Structure 1
Amino acid sequence: MPNAKKVKMKFLALLACVIAVQAAKTGDLSKPYSPQIGGKVAPLLPEEYAFNFVQHKWNENGFGVNHVGMGSWLSSSKHRMVRVDNSDYDWVSNNATVKGPITAGLITSLFDFSHVEKSGNITNHYIEYKGRNNKCTSSELPMAASQGQLFPPKYIQENGQYSGQETFAGIGITYTADKWVTFIGTTVVSFYFDGQGNWVRYDQSSPGLKTTVITLLYNLNKNARFADSVFSTDICATQ
């Protein structure tokens, strides 16, 4: 990859860092969960959708996960797949006792839900793009460990609890959004919708691993259509 492209990628990832960290400051997931009764009806989620995102993932348990990224997210009930394309900017930790290099990269995760009912697990095909030497690693993940979730349309209505409103910053805008909380095992999953009912944020917080992921949504397409090739795992079959 030419140096100019590498510089641009790192700049975009740094921009994502500023936005995502600001969102983290204004939406504190460390606060105790306290549902409120608001008489609200939870919104439906789309069956086939796509959006762009800015994301910050970090933990506080010493393992040193701390990265930010931006990219696209494609979810299809028809294909039983979720695809996440991400440009990441990583540093090992903001904990001074854990040292490591700062890196950047392009990554695709293909989350396969086709056999989750039988095994309880999701297959994650994790693809790293490194020039001409692309690398695919496939692994089985329990539902609660997967960042790419395939939610049915009534998921929040059937599993969510209204938890009041929060105000947080996005790109050039400040949101005051309704927050709905659900649980996948011990993982807390939160959905945020603005005053017009638009899905604008999605969080995951794992108390056991002390890992938090904040994802800000942009350009949500609620009626997306995907070709089969979008979710192809052929690159992994050849490795």
Structure 2
Amino acid sequence: MRFLQLLAVSLAAGMLPVRASSCRPFPSSVIEFSYGFKQPDPPILKAEFEASFIQHKWNQNLTHITNGFIYNSPSQNSVRVDEAFDGSLTSSFFNYANTTKENLVENTLTTFSHKSNKTTVWKGFVNSGFPLFPEDILVRYGAVFGGLVRRRFHEDLVAASCH
């Protein structure tokens, strides 16, 4: 009896029509994956760039939210990061031309605090949270095509790469 019930349910499920509206097609500009699909080569990026950012870093001891502006310049082997947080302005200059064998980067940190009218300058080697991105970073690390995603601030689908 149980076998007949399972057989009837299986047959009914196989005969029910599939609603086309439940399966949204890719746009006509996208070629769907097939047996002939070839992984595209990773693109070369525009490595010299400036961008604003908001960063939230935290652990069990702290939470730190900052916003700022980053200047990435492989041609000058440097990254400059200007930030504003807790009533202070800071500027970090990471000199990737001067690194240690442990991959620490020379950093000059200039701070303008609301608590003082004097500028504080610190210089030393750090494990930078702002790496220098070369234009071939996706090629160098073997990025692969991950698919299409919809971003909140971009109306079209964009390709996502992942490593």
TM-score with structure 1 setting the length:
0.43
Asked if the contact 1:169/1:175 (under 8 Å) is kept, the reply is no
Q: Percent identity?
A: 23
Asked if the contact 1:42/1:160 (under 8 Å) is kept, the reply is yes
The number of residues matched between the two structures is 124
TM superposition shift of 1:79? 1.8
Distance 1:168 1:72, change over 3 A: same
1:138 aligns to what? 123
RCO comparison, higher one (Cα < 8 Å, 6+): 1
**Is residue 123 of structure 1 aligned with residue 101 of structure 2?**
no
Distance 1:38 1:146, change over 3 A: farther
Q: Which runs of 5+ in 1 are unaligned?
A: 1-36, 89-102, 182-239
1:5 aligns to what? none
TM superposition shift of 1:63? 2.6
TM superposition shift of 1:119? 5.8
Q: Deviation digits for residues 129-187 of structure 1, max 9, x if unmatched?
A: 1253121222212xxx31121122112111143362555545x8797551333xxxxxx
Answer with 1 or 2: which has the greater Rg: 2
Please state whether the residue corresponding to 2:97 is helix, strand or coil: coil
Counterpart Cα distance in 1 of 2:51 and 2:61: 30
> Where in structure 2 are the equivalents of 1:133-172 lying within 5 Å?
133-141=118-126, 145-162=127-144, 164-165=146-147, 167=150, 169-170=152-153
Q: CA RMSD in A?
A: 3.0
Q: Which runs of 5+ in 2 are unaligned?
A: 1-36
Counterpart Cα distance in 2 of 1:86 and 1:160: 32
**Is residue 63 of structure 1 aligned with residue 61 of structure 2?**
yes
